[in-house]
Amino acid sequence: MPTALITGGRPGSVERRPSRFERCKASQEVATAVAFLSSDAADRITDQDITVAAGYGPAPGTRAGRSRIRTVNAMNRTAQENTMALTLDTYRLLGRSGLRVSPLALGTATFGTEWGWGAERDEARKLFDRYTELGGNVFDTASTYTDGSSERLLGEFARADRDKLVPATKYSTLRRPDDPNSGGTHRKSMLASVEASLRRLNTDYIDLLYVNVWDFRTPVEEILRGLDDLVRQGKVLYVGISSAPAWQVARMQAIADLRGWSPLVALETEYSLIERTAERDLIPMAREMGLGVVPFSPLGGGVLTGKYSREDQNRAGSVVGETAGDRKSLNVALGWVTDRNLAIADAVKEVASELGRTPAQVALAWALNAPGVTAPVVGARTIAQLEDNLGALQVDLTPSQLARLDEVSAIDLGNPHGPARQRSHPHGHHGRHEDRNPRLRP
Ligand SMILES: NC(=O)c1ccc[n+]([C@@H]2O[C@H](COP(=O)([O-])OP(=O)(O)OC[C@H]3O[C@@H](n4cnc5c(N)ncnc54)[C@H](OP(=O)(O)O)[C@@H]3O)[C@@H](O)[C@H]2O)c1
């Protein structure tokens, strides 16, 4: 038997007597051992430990036997785990599921140049290769990204290692401008979109399907039952939701639970130092209901990388739908290049220079370590940007740096979140959202 160290207590505590889990594990009673895992201990065992405990693992000392894949329950991370250096193969569990995902997902809205600000095929291939080479396994795409090129390129690149990878795609954005049923969250749109995604991704199953844009019309039972049918058919493994009101998601999860339908395991939502409104209801809801939080636009479309200035605010051709085609014009049109956001970007730059890091790394590290967050979706257009962004995994922000970043970007949580219009401090320096109530654990 291997001598894997498994501690039953919190990090730093010393447990001299073998725990019930260790004793069960030593006698290879894996089912019993797993039953006695406390959720704390479960966070610190490796996937290899489970395999070996089952008695059919590779011999210690062999190449496979040295593999120490580690999976942490993202909703239950300790403060210590939050600040330790991560790697793309330090996997986190996605919400209330057993699916292991890298702590940074790779966004693929930059795969293809159809939207004017993406990467050509060869550069996209480099992004894919570098990310997977480092153990990255989760990809974010959607049925309409770059008019289908994103899914097509991802399908092509992923073919050789399909089973190892976790492509996530989405449905509900309009696929044909003259056909109202080609978009929306209803069953017809869902089924047709998934069939088209399967063809473009060149696969017979989708690991994670998100409801993308909320249509404010379709009854939630229709959505949930359609998603569950896809799971039962084996076309989809897990389901998630993006950009929907928190109260609807909570209601959907309760209905899914009561009816035995597939639960929502992920919430993809915009979340960054410049967009923290998800802290009001979406993130607390996700933690309570067992959805892993997957933040998109963690760099505010690039604003947090420090390359934007006040001169950019009046950029020509920056009206939504009529932009000059580049990302900068789009960000101006979306209202992301404001005085407030530039001030936040300045604070990020300041922290970055103290740490000898880049602003992109600091902004991503902030999102990566926010409570409840499983895996921010990294958006890179070039391989240099991806290398830069992956450096966020090693950034260790001090409590005072986190407090400064929380403060400069704080939002008013509004009614009913606090008696005096409380401002939010997700990293807990002022007591809010520091709730580590075990009930919140999936
Ligand atoms: N669920 C949804 O509704 C939804 C919505 C939006 C996005 N997403 C997903 O989230 C992913 C990321 O979103 P996003 O693109 O908005 O993310 P982002 O990280 O906020 O912005 C990415 C952009 O910032 C710039 N950038 C990235 N790294 C940089 C670096 N190190 N230095 C300088 N500039 C850098 C690049 O644009 P330039 O080089 O062109 O300036 C890049 O395209 C998307 O690919 C998509 O998969 C989902």
- Same domain, residue pair 216 and 356: yes
CA distance 237 to 390: 27
Of the listed 91, 131, 145, 210, which one is catalytic? 145
CA distance 277 to 255: 26
- Same domain, residue pair 254 and 385: yes
> Is 145 a residue of the active site?
yes
- Same domain, residue pair 158 and 59: no
320 contact partners, CB below 8 Å, separation of at least 6:
330, 333, 334
Domain annotation covers residue 296: yes
CATH code of the domain containing 383 = 3.20.20.100
Distance (angstroms) between ligand 1 centre and the Cα of 166 equals 19
120 contact partners, CB below 8 Å, separation of at least 6:
113
DSSP letter at 406 equals H
- Same domain, residue pair 44 and 127: no
Domain annotation covers residue 78: no
Q: What is the pLDDT along the chain (442 residues), one digit of tens a residue?
A: 332 222 223 333 333 444 444 544 444 444 444 444 444 455 555 666 665 555 554 554 554 444 556 666 655 555 545 555 799 999 999 999 999 999 999 999 999 999 998 999 999 999 999 999 999 999 999 999 999 999 999 999 999 999 999 999 999 999 999 999 999 999 999 999 999 999 999 999 999 999 999 999 999 999 999 999 999 999 999 999 998 999 999 999 999 999 999 999 999 999 999 999 999 999 999 999 999 999 999 999 999 999 999 988 877 655 555 555 789 888 998 899 999 999 999 999 999 999 999 999 999 999 999 999 999 999 999 999 999 999 999 999 999 999 999 999 999 999 988 754 456 667 764 433 333 233 223 3
Domain annotation covers residue 88: no
Task: Identify the domain containing residue 31 by its residue range.
Answer: 1-68
Q: Quick check: CB of 299 below 6 Å from ligand 1? A: yes
Q: Tell me which of 14, 44, 68 is where a domain ends.
A: 68
Distance (angstroms) between ligand 1 centre and the Cα of 93 equals 23
Q: Give me the pLDDT at residue 24, please.
A: 43
Q: Give me the pLDDT at residue 38, please.
A: 44
Q: Quick check: CB of 385 below 6 Å from ligand 1? A: yes
Distance (angstroms) between ligand 1 centre and the Cα of 161 equals 25
Rounded to the nearest 5°, which phi and psi values hold at 261? Answer: -90, 165
Domain annotation covers residue 244: yes
Distance (angstroms) between ligand 1 centre and the Cα of 363 equals 12
- Same domain, residue pair 33 and 168: no
CA distance 299 to 306: 10
Q: What is the pTM of this model?
A: 0.86
433 contact partners, CB below 8 Å, separation of at least 6:
279, 283, 284, 371, 424, 425, 426
Q: Which ligand 1 atom minimizes the distance to the CA of 361?
A: 31
Q: Give me the pLDDT at residue 56, please.
A: 52
Domain annotation covers residue 316: yes
Q: Tell me which of 68, 92, 126 is where a domain ends.
A: 68
Domain annotation covers residue 75: no
- Same domain, residue pair 305 and 379: yes
Q: Quick check: CB of 301 below 6 Å from ligand 1? A: yes
DSSP letter at 203 equals S
Distance (angstroms) between ligand 1 centre and the Cα of 385 equals 10
Q: Which ligand 1 atom minimizes the distance to the CA of 306?
A: 33
Domain annotation covers residue 5: yes
Distance (angstroms) between ligand 1 centre and the Cα of 320 equals 17
Q: Which residue has the tokens 């210690």?
A: 60
Q: Domain tally for the chain?
A: 2
Render 1-20 in DSSP notation, one character per residue. -------SSSTT----SPPH
Cα 192 → chain centroid = 26
- Same domain, residue pair 432 and 388: yes
Residue nearest to atom 26 of ligand 1 (CA): 302
Q: Which ligand 1 atom minimizes the distance to the CA of 299?
A: 20
- Same domain, residue pair 161 and 21: no
Domain annotation covers residue 76: no
Render 154-166 in DSSP notation, one character per residue. HHHHHGGGGGG-E
Residue nearest to atom 5 of ligand 1 (CA): 296
Q: Quick check: CB of 406 below 6 Å from ligand 1? A: no
Q: Tell me which of 48, 68, 88 is where a domain ends.
A: 68
- Same domain, residue pair 337 and 384: yes
Q: Give me the pLDDT at residue 197, please.
A: 98
- Same domain, residue pair 47 and 192: no
- Same domain, residue pair 240 and 170: yes
Q: Quick check: CB of 203 below 6 Å from ligand 1? A: no
81 contact partners, CB below 8 Å, separation of at least 6:
11, 43, 72
Q: Quick check: CB of 99 below 6 Å from ligand 1? A: no
CA distance 406 to 395: 16
- Same domain, residue pair 4 and 135: no
